[in-house]
Structure 1
């Protein structure tokens, strides 16, 4: 096409083609120069498209130069530039532009909300969302997605219910965000309702591989493995993410052998190929199943057989497998031989094995080599000292935490009862049903003592009398949630709890071995304890961080 015949419409076509190409960053500047040469600057539509193209290619500074050079800017110009700044993480510049918009539209507000969520400032995003004069479905989806992506799934589900109550019909984006929130909150019943609602309203012709993957992932993370497998079987098409979700779901719920069998089926399928996430699930399955030799074999074949580069998560899973199995020296050797710098997650995997096998020397080595430690790392070491009776070590850890200003993160557990999600914090007495919960715990304690139950007090942080330790353990958030589930939940139904921290040894024993058999008269596996962060952190991403695990 000759330059003399170019107009704004043909230029927009060229811009779209250039933006869609792999060499967009190289092709856009010459097109920009051609725009100036042809004298198309007066057209705001052309400039807006150029801003969007630059921003989509990551050239935000170039987009801003176009914006600043415009003689006339409309609302679309501001929206495009706000979105560009917000998505690049420059919330300050986005906010300044937002305050200059002459007539903001729902798109303007939504761009700002999405940008704040992306930057992790969910509180500011929520305030802005509530201030919006008019909200459309995209606005609701952006806020829900932001809440779910920032580990606030309960708030996301509350917003979803409010959106439905205000008469907004969910679309594909809504369903994806809502399912992600259900997975994060362990809200199985709400997830089932969404599944039934979509099918009843025929929102989509069928569950494609993306929606189907989100659905089965939700079921798996809520511990409903059979439902996840049912969705997997019925899907007309599956991509690599679908297989990964199923493999990881089986592994996280303790079905290690089935997870490895699913991986073998994936290889035989030949329509998809394994990727990095696939082998995270495979190694996780080996870790939970204690399949050390199988884990070693797969770990060493990832690069050799499949040509997949080893990533931090693979090393973390392998260290976790070896450390859990007592091969602490081998785990430390793998860390020493890593081609990249080990992060805190790698060391925490080793530290968890040291705690399990009471190897104080190796634990001290792990702590000393970790550049950044959080309260959980210190608590793990302190619990290890307490378990072997080294109270001077416990006091040293407490002194270190005080000097660094590190505070112990309080345990927080949530449970879904009658379509409502209730949250409990360790030691908190603010729940409306606290008196009933306290009475139920006292009743449980009495019955358990009659059965010969002995409280696991070895890991209590303080060197105090046994009775005081038992009282401290009795106020852990997971026990409060379990007691509430016994009070307010329907009979003969599994209790599902989501917790932000690892379950302590006593709460693990309390929930599975005692409550399961004593209260329900069923095997312990019917009580599902969701999300052990040491495993979830291995995945290294917020999407997979909200993972579920049935403790074994």
Structure 2
């Protein structure tokens, strides 16, 4: 909604209507949600001028505002100046400290609280999970005498993010009938994060069987699973389900659909989704450019890039991976060279190892092996096995035995335990010997 409330506020003042505490409370919440730091600070001054500096609700609102805009110093100052603090104020301060990584301070405040509610415990569980300290989170969870569905979901999410999927699933089962859509989404997302894509799909089927209504978050996770499995039929079913259930296809869901169709090789369907989006962000543009590129539509990827620029969207490193990959798969060597050189010079993007990998692949496929080797030698970072592997494949294609030997030696230095490199080198020597 933006800052339209300012017009109403100014109207109140011009009509000689004195703003109440409730007015300022609503304004602070709006400033926090909009991250309108300067505006919120100016209303802080107004609150002081109105003589509301000791009102507990407004002080808590200020504390919450400063916490949400990332100004921990001001949040601490407001908290220190509060003449009295209730459980809501303490919870707001614990949340502010936790979000800024000050978990020890949050724990000290929590330990000294005379009254705690579920939000107090949930803030601590969440903060330890975000920190990756799953043992402390588990301790807080089991000590919590007022567990609610948020407590369970926070702990399940913590287990998923620490790659303890089995522990997450056990807790999920223990929830029984307390599960909600968030619980299911957390587990499905956790399966995808742990690359248990089949389990993610099975969880979704159980979710439907349990008459739990899926959300947009469910669909995004499920589409990601389809993308990794190359399960086009299931992906199409999900798309149909989205249409039948009237889900709003925003940039997040739209991007997931584009990515799924591209990874499953259905470019026309991906383009239909892309062009049907009323709003496109950098992720949508990148998905279609990368998708076109990896499916061999190099010229179409370049056209999409040109459209993106005309729309005023600034490219990033992922955009150029798509462009260079498209040039590689379509044999557009001169165009690939141009975009690679323009990355830093025009767009201010420092090429990463993935961009060098794309260029080595492009040059190698086209037979420019010496140029590819020289590019590797001028890299700003140490070449990895992917880079050397790309050049090795090119050597095999173009039957350059001498360079193949050099590249294989580099691969052996990177990974002496890879038996495949020794087998390849042995075969290389055998062929060379037979040729005399």
What's the TM-score bracket when you normalise by the shorter of the two chains? Answer: 0.7 to 0.9
- Residue 369 of structure 1 and its aligned partner are, at CA, apart by 4.6
Q: Which runs of 5+ in 2 are unaligned?
A: 1-46, 432-436
Distance in 2 (CA, whole Å) between partners of 1:47 and 1:226 is: 54
Q: Are positions 1:265 and 2:307 aligned together?
A: yes
Distance across 1 between alignment mates of 2:118 and 2:200: 29
Does 359-368 or 253-262 show the bigger shift? 359-368
Aligned residue pairs, count = 379
- Deviation of 1:301 (Å): 0.3
> Deviation at 1:390?
4.7
Q: How does 1:241-256 map to 2 (within 5 A)?
A: 241-256=283-298
- Tell me: CA distance 1:97–1:350, structure 2 relative to 1, closer, same or farther (3 Å): farther
Establish whether residue 384 from structure 1 lines up as the match of residue 424 from structure 2.
Answer: yes
Assess if the C-alpha contact under 8 Å between 2:405 and 2:428 holds in 1: no
What corresponds to 2:5 in structure 1? none
Match of 2:331 among 274, 290, 313: 290
> How far does residue 63 in structure 1 lie from its aligned partner after superposition?
3.0
3-state SS of 1:5 partner? coil
What residue number does 1:339 align with? 380
Separation of aligned partners in 1, 2:133 and 2:396: 42
Contact 2:59 2:82 in 1 (8 A): no
Is the CA contact 1:251–1:281 (under 8 Å) kept in the aligned structure 2?
A: yes
Q: Does structure 1 residue 300 correspond to structure 2 residue 348? A: no
Question: Within 2, Cα distance between the matches of 1:68 and 1:316?
Answer: 52
User: In structure 2, how many angstroms separate the alpha carbons of the residues matched to 1:328 and 1:93?
Assistant: 54
Tell me the C-alpha RMSD between the 2 structures: 2.6
Distance 2:391 2:105 in 1: 46
Q: How far apart, in 1, do the equivalents of 2:290 and 2:275 lie?
A: 16
Larger Rg, first or second structure (1 or 2): 2
Match of 1:465 in 2: none
Unaligned runs of 5+ in 1: 392-552
- Cα distance change on mapping 1:233 and 1:61 into 2, 3 Å: same
- Say whether 1:10 aligns with 2:54: no
- Give the corresponding residue for 2:279: 237
Q: Distance in 2 between matches of 1:6 and 1:362?
A: 75
Q: Distance in 1 between matches of 2:99 and 2:343?
A: 34
Alignment of 1:495-510 (within 5 A): none
Q: SS of the residue aligned with 2:143? A: coil
Separation in structure 2 between the aligned mates of residue 88 and residue 46 of structure 1, nearest angstrom: 23
Match of residue 505 from structure 1: none
If each structure's helix is expressed as a fraction of its own residues, which one has the higher value? 2
Bigger drift between 183-192 and 339-348 goes to: 339-348
Quote the residue 1:38 is aligned against.
82
How far has the Cα of 1:248 moved from its partner? 0.8
Post-superposition offset of 1:354? 5.0
State the Cα deviation string for residues 24-43 of structure 1 (Å, max 9, x = none): 2xx313422442342434x2
Which structure would you say has the larger RCO, counting Cα contacts within 8 Å and 6 or more residues apart?
1
Give the CA deviation at 1:246. Answer: 0.6
| Structure 2 counterpart of 1:429 | none
Asked if the contact 1:363–1:381 (Cα under 8 Å) also holds between the matched residues in 2, the reply is: no
Q: Secondary structure at the match of 1:96?
A: helix
- 1:110/1:347 CA distance change after superposition, 3 Å: farther
Correspondence 1:162 to 2:216: no
Q: Relative to structure 2, which stretch is displaced further, 309-318 or 328-337?
A: 328-337
Q: Cα distance, 1:226 vs. partner?
A: 1.1
1:109 aligns with 2:155: no
1:364 aligns with 2:412: no
Q: In structure 1, what is the Cα distance between the partners aligned to 2:381 and 2:113?
A: 46
